[in-house]
Structure 1
């Protein structure tokens, strides 16, 4: 079962990389670098139904359970807030 993550929560992997979480309508999440989140860039990873993180459609060893909540939250991505 996939871990529930906070919308716009900033999470870190043990290697130090940080990602902003965004829930998607089909279930699961997409993950942006903080820099890409700020400039409406593409997501870096997505999660599958089992909680595996995928990049360009390929699974890797990271899972949503590996993400550490930094307790920080990214600002809204609404262009009207710019």
Structure 2
């Protein structure tokens, strides 16, 4: 994950690189938030197989970019980043 160094969203150093086989979803990381604006970039490499045909597996690479605004007058301790896996059309 490419966290900005501006302090708006802070993630512990040990959580910035995440690698696991068969993760429990959703994947959660503790973070701290300070008022301001920033952009969070998450680089993904996901190896996954179809549920019905488990021998059909794919490698998905992508980047999720999310603009973030933290307002001191609004209480929220969650930042959600979603990524949908779509099987490629093999026809």
TM-score range, shorter chain: under 0.3
- Looking at CA atoms only, which structure, 1 or 2, has the larger radius of gyration? 2
Q: Scaled by the length of structure 2, what TM-score is found?
A: 0.25
Q: Scaled by the length of structure 1, what TM-score is found?
A: 0.26
Q: Which protein, 1 or 2, shows the higher relative CO under an 8 Å CA cutoff with sep ≥ 6?
A: 1
